[in-house]
Structure 1
């Protein structure tokens, strides 16, 4: 929020507010006098980062959404350590749009379908779909060890807790209740439909059931954070996302890699 005078420390653009003296997106001239507080936005200085050598693929784009196939090792959004080499920043640069924001989150190591909003005007209604669990998601995981579920869909309810500063999520009394559906589709492969969206939910569930995901750096053993070690990819892929589009009035289904339907 700027007051009195537009600072000269960087470039600013007018933010949105009902009584703002400048239209949204107007460049604000350094030294200009402000007769009332003005919301503003700017591009923060971002230090150089090592390039992450994996690229996303755009699966779909219209005026409201961009859907990508996110590679493993690339964060969806900034995690405080990586800013430039995120899907969000890469898409903003690629499309020349500052409003692009992922509507949900995939772990840095997880690959697959990621749905992003490109317009603030419609973002809220899409975000509500995810908040209200009106979006169906399908994942495929290759596991280390024998598959401990059958070929029919089975619900798994577990309480989960993540302590501040800890990387691992634990299962135990007093945690947040989670619900995940699982079924075996091969000798080392499981399909997963998470209903809730707890941190590391799928990884925790499969590890708890004795079948940790291949390449997992946190379960069952926390091997430490190595942002630029690409030697052990996580074998977890978001293969499909489906929802009823509140603006198009139609069913949206986004898939990768020949995934089955939802």
Structure 2
């Protein structure tokens, strides 16, 4: 799996993460965006030793789309602060089972993560962490719906849990109730969730940077009539 470079300068790197690739390495030793970026920068800039890679946010392994990394610690701190204070705009596409009662609206939940099982659940008001997302129906037919999702918080598994809680699991997300299976390009399971767009302030120039990530070949066809094929368009 090879990420697609969407934007690069002396401070930032924006990649289109393939579904199935880790954002950051773990105990499995599988390749990740961080290790790929380190190798890429070592080769490009002829760096003999370690290079700094600042991962300021991440996507779940079965999710595809836009991820922002920093080349310096100063840039990483400034970008991380934007994510922390809500200064970054995020747009996701999702194909879900079912359909919302309304064509657009907002959902607010309280979420809590069980680190032993790596699962997230909703809790009562006043417990857990607040999760907010605005949704819009883009298309719907044959029991499936394509949604645009704009989260204003960045909780672990947030969109997956908020959708599943409302009886609309993301297609392919068997962890949270989907009955369908979708394969990534490497043959491993993926889910029909794609980080489509990211807008942030450049850490040194102060300009707004808007990046759009195209869907990849393993993205289920956007037509809600899709019935289980993993062929992308």
Same fold (TM over 0.5): yes
Higher strand share: 2
CA distance in 2, matches of 1:178, 1:94: 35
User: Higher helix share goes to which structure?
Assistant: 2
**Number of residues paired by the alignment?**
198
User: So what's the TM-score if we normalise by structure 2?
Assistant: 0.79
Say what the alpha-carbon RMSD is for the aligned residues: 2.2
Moved more, 164-173 or 105-114: 164-173
The residue aligned with 1:164 is 115
Which of 95, 118, 135 is equivalent to 2:88? Answer: 135
What is the deviation of 1:233?
A: 2.0
Structure 1 runs (4+) deviating above 6 angstroms are none
Q: Secondary structure at the match of 1:82?
A: coil
What CA distance in whole angstroms lies between the structure 2 residues aligned with 1:126 and 1:170?
28
CA gap of 1:149–1:254, structure 2 versus 1, over 3 A, is farther
Q: Does 1:200 align with 2:157?
A: yes
What residue number does 2:100 align with?
148
TM-score, L = length of structure 1: 0.71
Q: Relative CO higher for 1 or 2, CA cutoff 8 Å, sep ≥ 6?
A: 2
* Structure 1: segments with no counterpart, 5+ residues: 1-53, 223-228
* Alpha carbons of structure 1 residues 95 and 231: separation in structure 2 relative to 1, 3 Å: closer
Superposition map of 1:239-250 within 5 A: 239-250=196-207
Which of these two proteins has the greater Rg computed from alpha carbons? 1
Q: Gaps (5+ residues) in structure 2? A: 180-185, 216-233
Note closer, same or farther for the CA distance 1:208–1:120 as it changes in structure 2 (3 Å cut).
same
- Distance apart, 1:113 and its partner CA: 0.3
